[in-house]
Amino acid sequence: SSAGGAHCFPDLRVGVFKEIVPMGIDPKIVSYKETGIHLSPQEFHREVEQYLSQASQGQSDTILLDCRNFYESKIGHFQGCLAPDIRKFSYFPSYVDENLELFKDKRVLMYCTGGIRCERGSAYLRSKAVCREVYQLKGGIHKYLEEFPDGFYRGKLFVFDDRYAICSNEDIISACRYCGTLWDQYKLCSSQHCRQLVLTCPSCRKKGLTACCPVCQEKELKVTSRASGQTLKEECECTRRRPRVPIEHVLQRMLDTGK
């Protein structure tokens, strides 16, 4: 359970979909029945503990994989994880395809918010037949934090409602977009054409720095100075500069994070 209320959930929509969280692969092709091995929070905790111990000595044969989006892992993640710089879960299959050598002969420990994305993501990774073993955290970070609020997950947990994040520890691992001070409370970009989330501290917001990037900041000023109802084409410096499918060349970044 976590603090909230009706105001956090203003919309109710009911629909029928092939995928709860779209990965872009037909479930008939990659079935949720072919998932990785489910680990309880207790089992996952022990695995992460062992992984961090081995990684600090440069001996690990395991990858701790965060299969969420970059803005989720930015404000909270497991220590020593590999967090792909992807904007949508539908990019995850391409990320795996471009980085197969990274996963070759590795033990993979996967996790996500509540375990749903891991159901599809682990099945896709297993379908490539390159990993030695694939495991996933049953119930996701939510269940882990219920058992280990001060465990190996640090920072906040991103949620897809108007709360944006919930916390179980006091760590702040992200920074303000503009001044670099520690900050982890998301707001929507103030530019009407943009739906990006931005980390901007109260001090910077008072200065009017409320957009996700200079492009959006400039467009916001143009919109407010023009006639009501006039819109501009969506264009964001943040998205344009981020490669859709990042390629991981080495594991050193993961090992450095673990240390």
Whether 252 has a pLDDT exceeding 70, the answer reads: no
Is the Cβ–Cβ distance between 198 and 211 less than 8 Å? Answer: yes
Longest dimension (CA), the chain: 62
* CB burial of residue 193 (10 Å; 0-12, 13-18, 19+): middle
18-59 pLDDT, tens digit per residue, is 888 889 898 889 888 899 999 999 999 999 999 999 988 777
**Residue 105: both structure tokens together:** 């002969």
Domains and CATH numbers, the chain: 6-167 (3.40.250.10), 186-223+233-241 (no CATH)
168-218 pLDDT, tens digit per residue, is 888 999 999 999 999 999 998 988 778 789 999 999 999 999 998 888 877
Active site amino acids: 112
